[in-house]
């Protein structure tokens, strides 16, 4: 929402400095996003007359303009616009002027021709966005007159404010002024246009009705009517008639400038007045051409299934039964209520009689329709926050007042005012103790009443507490906590003292979090670099990585290349290696810890989401990744960590294994499938490890118990077995380790394939260290242990001792 200082001051009873206004808006939760000083930098800009136009000898896009700025001396200007004619009066920025945008005007040569100033577009003097040509001034203003005087521009300040959904009142100049006045301690008054009809029953939250139809007749005997056929969607519908409008009358410059400053485009007098009233009072409204409205009747009803209508922007909109329509007396849709009108009944250059709509629509209905249609308008932005249902009459009076002044419209002294369902906003008990308990303050009841009164929250004492009536312009507020926030806001956040937390408590990371950090440190210790690629993949990227192509998809991705949730870290890591490979950065070692997303298990809505660790070692072979796994397993003291050779998707057909802890699968290890690497143009091997960190965390751990170290000499024996390829080396190792209590350590020190070892087997040579804590082993003990080790390997794995 944008707002002007001058406009705000129409509602304030004392002047407030721009700095104080900006500071107050910051403190009120409507912070200033941008401040523009208007009407400054216009001092050197004066009216000049075009004396002659001539082509620039050296440039096509510039012409030479001779102007007279009132001193009778022709002045040559180089100008890039061609829209003016000899005799036109135009704004001239004279030498030495600093423009509103900061540009300094100096005498200079353009392609060899002198330019002694600059002719200005509307935008260059801060009048809207029109930059198509030089601003040609109407009405023959005197030469040399300052442009500010000609255009009636007074210095002003324009603020663009951020307005949150809980501030419907901040969607109007008057509402902002009310809040501001309360903060800075000046008086606030609404405009008071002459009443067109005698005041009716005042509107409160409790003053709703049943809807239905209401008619009236103009002084000329023309009947008109309004009907609410959807009482839950339209809480109030007020209609008036204006006659005798001069359709050719333009809106005045001051009004056009305010509309432009606040971001709207001047169209015609009636449309401008409509927008002006909306900006000023926050009441969106709609003037229809009375002659085009069938039956001179406006009716609010829900759309029918399958119904559609074409909106002003010439788009046909398919509607649902949730949408609200405005139709005429013949049930022809003339607008989507609160969102956008249709073309048929719009006012035009021929409109003389106007049927004016001032309505209150249900915020949820408008929000839903606007979101579904993707159609946002100034009206919908206000209706969906909640317009003040009590403002309609004042807004109608204001419209009629302006129409009478600007285009001679004469308001009929009758109106229809149909009331239907308004939201329930019963008075709220605001407990003083509760206010102080939530804010950490020590406010007296009187102080609470004092800060609430100027923003329209009227209070009635109830013992130490208050019964608070919510003002009609605060649809957002309904409960005690809403009022507490208003108290805090107007008491001032900065006046609430800081407090320290005193409850005894202890902070610490969980085991899982500590383990994750340990894993990170380990991977760093291995010299690897963490990366965080996006978790979104392109369609086909899973398949390209050799994985099951089915991944959960986003309904509304930003781009198709980021539309599939990853089911593994592998695709991202392969892409990362490929990225580096393409830049001749070979042999990179990367890792990532991140979430992956698998299809939800039966009966569950959310994906099976897991935290994975992925490690990619470019230029390395599979054993390098297995080593990472083994060090990781050691770090976490995993029970019986193992790898079992397997064929796995995305991995090398003969260099891949499942990773297990205590027999449970927790991941995979190996090399990336050469076919996958080919598809990614990676010309080096890539060793890869991917494990489920959650599964690792839950996996069985080795006992942390200490094993006593012997003071006696140990005995070493070497055993080489011929073991079939299907038997994992780690299993043999583990069998040996468990075969005799004297075994202290087992280490695989040699693997050999080839003669004389039978094909399909290999020789695995283990060094076994035997040890007793209480004695030196005798030769007989060592021999016994050796026999048991051989027996175990032979018995469990079919291993054959080599001679």
Which tokens hold the place of 85?
A: 């004619």
Tell me which stretch binds another protein (CB under 8 A): 3-11, 352-360, 439-447, 627-635: 439-447
Nearer to another protein, 165 or 741 (CB): 165
The count of chain residues that interact with another protein, using the rule CB under 8 A, is 87
Contact code string over 382-411 relative to another protein, x by CB under 8 A:
--xx--------------------------
Positions 55 through 84 that interact with another protein (CB under 8 A): none
How, if at all, do strands 428-430 and 465-469 pair? antiparallel
Distance, in Å, from the CA atom of 58 to the CA atom of 55, rounded to the nearest integer, reads 9
Residues in the chain: 803
Binding of residue 368 to another protein (CB under 8 A): yes
Q: Which of 32, 260, 528, 801 binds another protein (CB under 8 A)?
A: 528
Binding of residue 13 to another protein (CB under 8 A): no
**Which DSSP symbol is given to 521?**
H
Distance, in Å, from the CA atom of 328 to the CA atom of 297, rounded to the nearest integer, reads 5
Sequence-ordered alpha helix ranges (H) in 126-239 = 147-151, 173-184
Angle, in degrees to the nearest 10, between helices 480-491 and 432-439: 60
Nearer to another protein, 440 or 461 (CB): 440
Contact code string over 326-365 relative to another protein, x by CB under 8 A:
-------------------------------------xx-
Q: What spatial distance separates the first Cα and last Cα of the chain, rounded to whole Å?
A: 91
Q: Which of 115, 268, 283, 580 binds another protein (CB under 8 A)?
A: 580
Which tokens hold the place of 588?
A: 């990179």
Residue whose token pair is 């076919």: 675
What phi, psi does 274 have (nearest 5°)? -55, -45
Q: Say if CB 328 and CB 341 are below 8 A apart.
A: no
Between vectors from CA 634 to CA 628 and to CA 639, what angle results, nearest 5°?
A: 120
Tell me which stretch binds another protein (CB under 8 A): 220-228, 415-423, 496-504, 666-674: 496-504
Distance, in Å, from the CA atom of 282 to the CA atom of 264, rounded to the nearest integer, reads 14
Positions 532 through 551 that interact with another protein (CB under 8 A): 532-536
Distance, in Å, from the CA atom of 512 to the CA atom of 468, rounded to the nearest integer, reads 50
Which tokens hold the place of 135?
A: 């601003």
Q: Maximum CA pair distance of the chain?
A: 129
Binding of residue 475 to another protein (CB under 8 A): no
Q: Which of 463, 556, 713, 780 binds another protein (CB under 8 A)?
A: 556
Which tokens hold the place of 589?
A: 């070692």
Tell me which stretch binds another protein (CB under 8 A): 88-96, 275-283, 530-538, 771-779: 530-538
Binding of residue 425 to another protein (CB under 8 A): no
Nearer to another protein, 198 or 527 (CB): 527
Binding of residue 432 to another protein (CB under 8 A): no
* Closest CB 686 distance from another protein, rounded Å: 13
Which tokens hold the place of 575?
A: 């892409």
Tell me which stretch binds another protein (CB under 8 A): 24-32, 244-252, 634-642, 786-794: 24-32
Contact code string over 596-635 relative to another protein, x by CB under 8 A:
-x--x----xxx-x--------------------------
* Closest CB 721 distance from another protein, rounded Å: 34
* Closest CB 71 distance from another protein, rounded Å: 48
Binding of residue 495 to another protein (CB under 8 A): no
Reference 527, options 674, 612, 627, 610; nearest CA is 627
Q: Which of 349, 501, 705, 780 binds another protein (CB under 8 A)?
A: 501
Reference 744, options 719, 708, 793, 720; nearest CA is 708
Binding of residue 130 to another protein (CB under 8 A): no
List, in order, residues 6 or more apart from 296 with CB less than 8 Å away.
222, 223, 224, 225, 290, 329, 355
Q: Which of 590, 656, 736, 792 binds another protein (CB under 8 A)?
A: 590
Nearer to another protein, 363 or 409 (CB): 363
* Closest CB 165 distance from another protein, rounded Å: 4
Which tokens hold the place of 389?
A: 């249902």
Positions 147 through 206 that interact with another protein (CB under 8 A): 164-167
Residue 735 CB neighbour total at 10 angstroms: 19
Binding of residue 753 to another protein (CB under 8 A): no
């Amino acid at each position: 929402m944008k707002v002007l200082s001058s406009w705000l001051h129409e509602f304030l009873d004392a002047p407030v400095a721009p700095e104080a206004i900006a500071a107050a808006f910051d403190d009120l939760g409507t912070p200033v996003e941008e401040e523009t000083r208007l009407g400054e930098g216009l001092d050197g800009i004066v009216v000049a007359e075009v004396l002659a136009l001539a082509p620039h000898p050296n440039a096509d896009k510039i012409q030479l303009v001779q102007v007279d700025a009132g001193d009778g001396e022709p002045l040559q200007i180089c100008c890039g616009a061609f829209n003016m004619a000899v005799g036109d009066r135009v704004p001239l920025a004279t030498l030495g002027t600093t423009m509103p945008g900061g540009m300094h005007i100096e005498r200079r040569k353009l392609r060899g021709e002198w330019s002694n100033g600059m002719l200005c577009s509307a935008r260059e003097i801060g009048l809207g966005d029109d930059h198509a040509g030089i601003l040609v001034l109407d009405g023959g203003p005197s030469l040399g007159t300052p442009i500010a005087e000609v255009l009636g521009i007074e210095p002003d300040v324009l603020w663009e404010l951020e307005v949150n959904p809980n501030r419907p009142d901040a969607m109007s100049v008057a509402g902002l002024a009310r809040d501001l006045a309360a903060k800075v301690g000046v008086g606030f008054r609404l405009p008071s246009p002459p009443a067109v009809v005698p005041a009716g029953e005042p509107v409160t939250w409790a003053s709703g009705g049943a809807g239905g139809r209401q008619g009236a007749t103009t002084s000329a005997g023309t009947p008109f009517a309004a009907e609410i056929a959807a009482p839950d969607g339209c809480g109030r519908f007020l209609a008036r008639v204006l006659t005798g409008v001069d359709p050719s009358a333009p809106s005045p410059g001051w009004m056009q400038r305010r509309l432009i400053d606040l971001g709207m485009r001047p169209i015609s007098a009636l449309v401008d007045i409509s927008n002006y009233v909306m900006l000023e009072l926050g009441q969106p409204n709609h003037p229809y051409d009375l002659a085009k409205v069938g039956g001179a009747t406006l009716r609010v009803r829900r759309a029918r299934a399958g119904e559609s209508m074409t909106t002003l922007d010439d788009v046909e909109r398919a509607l649902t039964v949730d949408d609200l329509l405005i139709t005429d007396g013949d049930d022809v849709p003339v607008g989507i209520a609160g969102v956008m009108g249709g073309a048929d009944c719009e006012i035009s250059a021929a409109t003389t009689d106007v049927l004016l709509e001032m309505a209150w629509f249900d915020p949820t209905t408008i929000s839903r329709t606007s979101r579904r249609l993707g159609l946002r308008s100034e009206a919908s932005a206000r209706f969906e926050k909640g317009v003040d249902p009590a403002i309609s009459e004042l807004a109608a009076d204001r419209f009629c007042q302006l129409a009478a002044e600007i285009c001679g419209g004469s308001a009929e002294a009758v109106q229809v005012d149909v009331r239907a369902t308004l939201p329930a906003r019963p008075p709220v008990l605001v407990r003083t103790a509760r206010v102080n308990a939530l804010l950490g303050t020590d406010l007296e009841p009187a102080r609470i009443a004092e800060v609430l009164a100027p923003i329209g929250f009227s209070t009635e004492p109830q013992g130490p507490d208050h019964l608070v009536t919510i003002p009609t312009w605060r649809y957002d507020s309904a409960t005690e906590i809403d009022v507490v926030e208003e108290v805090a806001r107007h008491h001032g956040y900065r006046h609430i003292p800081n407090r320290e937390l005193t409850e005894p408590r202890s902070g610490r990371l969980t085991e899982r979090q500590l383990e994750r950090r340990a894993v990170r440190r380990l991977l760093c210790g291995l010299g690897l670099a963490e990366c965080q690629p996006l978790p979104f993949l392109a369609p086909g990227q899973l398949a390209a990585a050799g994985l099951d192509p089915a991944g959960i998809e986003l309904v509304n991705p930003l781009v198709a290349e980021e539309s599939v949730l990853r089911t593994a870290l592998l695709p991202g890591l392969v892409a990362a290696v490929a990225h580096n490979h393409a830049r001749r950065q070979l042999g990179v070692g990367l890792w990532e810890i991140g979430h992956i997303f698998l299809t939800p298990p039966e009966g569950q809505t959310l994906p099976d989401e897991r935290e994975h660790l992925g490690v990619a070692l470019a230029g390395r072979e599979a054993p390098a990744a297995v080593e990472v796994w083994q060090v990781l397993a050691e770090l976490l003291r995993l029970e019986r960590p193992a790898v079992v050779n397997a064929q796995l998707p995305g991995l090398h057909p003969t260099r891949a294994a499942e990773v297990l802890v205590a027999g449970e699968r927790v991941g995979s290890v190996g090399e990336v499938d050469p076919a996958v690497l080919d598809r990614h143009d990676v010309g080096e091997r890539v060793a890869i490890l991917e494990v489920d960190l959650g599964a690792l965390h839950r996996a069985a751990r080795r006992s942390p118990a200490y094993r006593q170290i012997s003071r006696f000499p140990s005995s070493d024996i070497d055993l080489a077995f011929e073991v079939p390829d299907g038997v994992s080396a780690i299993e043999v190792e583990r069998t040996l380790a468990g075969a005799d209590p004297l075994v202290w350590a087992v280490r695989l020190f040699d693997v050999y394939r080839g003669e004389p070892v039978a094909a399909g087997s290999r020789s695995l040579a283990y060094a076994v260290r035997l040890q007793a804590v209480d004695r030196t082993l005798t030769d007989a003990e060592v021999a016994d242990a050796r026999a048991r080790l051989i027996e175990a390997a032979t018995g469990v794995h079919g291993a054959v001792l080599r001679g």
